[in-house]
Amino acid sequence: MRAAPLALSVSFLSALLTGAGSWRGARSAAPAAARALVGVGDSDSPWAGAVLAWPAVNLAIVRAERAGDAEGARRARFGVIVLAALASEARRAQREAKEASAAASAPARGESAESAEERVSALDVDAEAAVVAWACDGFATAPGGGSDGDEDLRGASARLARSDPGWARSAFRHLRLSTAPSANRPGGEGSTAGAKRDGASHASRCDAVVYAASAFAALVGDVLPEGTVRELAADSGEIDGDETFLHPLFATMRTCEEAADACVRDELPGSARAARAVRAAKLALDGVVGGLA
């Protein structure tokens, strides 16, 4: 008997989260709906509401895109990013409280190492990847942009990235893959040959570099605290199946540099802009990690 009221509540809050007709409405409605959804379920499951709401909010975005309502889709994505940020903050607070309690009772147990192994959200893999991609769009938005909602998206994306380092790690991986040759992406085999014959694809290669480098520069130079960037720089792991172990930050930076060099080498339109964006990203990284780069 209690399932129906819960379903109705989630449906209402999902509509409130994603259905604002203006950015002014979204700025007030989305945070309110997100806080209510984080409170759904028991206090130990801050992601429960987001998981329940995902089918509805994702459908709202798809419908807006299909209807050609680009701003409506952006506002809906903004709401989802706000929800993810609040849920992530709540779970991180719970985790830190548990770790503090465990450290007080048994300092040698090493709970923090175990926590680092957890996934960054309770969303399914595809949903989490979508949230990461939308947040990266926010990072890549130029400060002071002319479009209404740009600052809102940047702010929500920044809050998400700061809520848990796992989001930043996922963002860097997304940015690295976004500049990789299309033949090396999942489902992209053989597409490089077509790109060589397509002028629009030439431009898209440079645009992809600018996008990734701009988002990278925003993350390391503005969004993330310096301490977090240094922690990420100290991480190491296997990069896309390669046996070479690289720091995630540097692996992403290297991929951007290689992609920009390829644009310049092929004399593609927009290659100079891509090279400038990568130089700015490299300066942002060097400004934080210095000699580690």
Give the pLDDT mean for 250-258: 93
Q: Residues 107-165: pLDDT tens digits?
A: 544 444 444 446 899 999 999 999 999 999 999 987 765 678 999 999 999 999 999 99
User: How many Cβ atoms from other residues are within 10 Å of residue 189's Cβ?
Assistant: 10
Least confident span in 10-14, 32-36, 102-106:
102-106
CA dist., res. 283 & res. 277, Å (int): 10
Query: Is pLDDT at 96 greater than 90 in this prediction?
Result: no
CA dist., res. 78 & res. 134, Å (int): 8
Contact 167, 87 (CB under 8 A): no
Contact 13, 49 (CB under 8 A): yes
Q: Which residues of 244-253 are buried (b: 16+ CB within 10 A; e: fewer)?
A: eebbbbbbbb
Query: Is pLDDT at 192 greater than 80 in this prediction?
Result: no
Assigned token pair, 152? 């809102």
Contact 192, 182 (CB under 8 A): yes
- Of the chain, the percentage scoring pLDDT greater than 70 comes to 78
Query: Is pLDDT at 94 greater than 70 in this prediction?
Result: yes
Q: Which of 247, 230, 245, 240 is CA-nearest to residue 287?
A: 230
Assigned token pair, 177? 């893959």
Residues 6+ apart with CB under 8 A from 292: 230, 233, 234, 247
pLDDT at 269: 92
| Percentages (nearest 5) of helix, strand, coil residues in the chain | 75, 0, 20
Confidence of residue 89 (pLDDT cuts 50, 70, 90): very high
Q: What's the pTM?
A: 0.83
User: How many Cβ atoms from other residues are within 10 Å of residue 42's Cβ?
Assistant: 8
Plot region of 110 (φ>0 → left; ψ -120 to 50 → alpha; else → beta): left
Q: Residues 46-76: pLDDT tens digits?
A: 999 999 999 999 999 999 999 999 999 999 9
